[in-house]
């Protein structure tokens, strides 16, 4: 090679990195303490925890309706308390006149006057 020719590979690589990963957070995130290994992995890979770790999805519509996804079993059920076992924790829903409207293998809908949602 001639003396006057200079490689532009490093410059191109640096510029291309900004273009290729535009809109994607490439910085490594620190996992929060107390998370399971699958939750830490999903945090590190920047993926939703419900996909990798099977984390529960709790969708509350006002104070009268909850849709709960990714649960394993119903532990306790009465008109003032519904306790559900999820894959990563237990979920305790307290209120008045609580009722499980329907449930399938991995989803349920709870209605009634909801006072609190606790993760145990």
pLDDT of residue 43: 72
Look at residue 12 and give its three-state secondary structure. helix
pLDDT of residue 65: 96
3-state class of 9 per DSSP?
helix
Residue-wise pLDDT for 104-115, tens only, equals 988 999 999 999
**Residues 4-9, mean pLDDT to the nearest whole number:** 62
User: What value does the mean pLDDT take over residues 10-34?
Assistant: 59
**To 10 degrees, the CA torsion angle through 23, 26, 28, 34?**
30
Domain ranges across the chain:
25-55, 56-119
Gap between the Cα atoms of 120 and 116, Å rounded = 13
Flag whether pLDDT at 96 surpasses 90: yes
pLDDT tens, 43-92? Answer: 777 766 666 667 888 999 999 999 999 899 999 999 999 999 998 889 99
Cα–Cα dist 66/60, whole Å:
4
Alpha helices by DSSP H, listed for 3-107, are 9-20, 37-44, 49-52
User: Which of the following CATH numbers is that of domain 56-119: 3.40.50.11890, 3.40.50.720, 3.40.50.410, 2.60.40.2000?
Assistant: 2.60.40.2000
Q: How many CB atoms lie under 10 A from the CB of residue 24? A: 7
- Residue 40 has what pLDDT? 73
Residue 29 in this model has a pLDDT that exceeds 70: no
């Amino acid at each position: 090679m001639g003396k006057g020719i200079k490689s532009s590979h490093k410059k191109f690589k640096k510029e291309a990195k900004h273009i290729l990963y535009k809109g994607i957070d490439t910085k490594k995130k620190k996992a929060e303490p107390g998370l399971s290994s699958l939750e830490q992995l999903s945090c590190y890979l920047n993926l939703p925890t419900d996909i990798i770790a099977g984390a529960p999805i709790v969708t509350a519509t006002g104070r009268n309706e909850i849709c709960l996804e990714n649960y394993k079993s119903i532990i306790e059920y009465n008109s003032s308390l519904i306790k559900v076992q999820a894959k990563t924790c237990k979920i305790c829903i307290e209120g008045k006149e609580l009722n499980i409207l329907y449930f399938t293998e991995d989803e349920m809908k709870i209605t009634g006057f909801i006072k609190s949602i606790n993760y145990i």
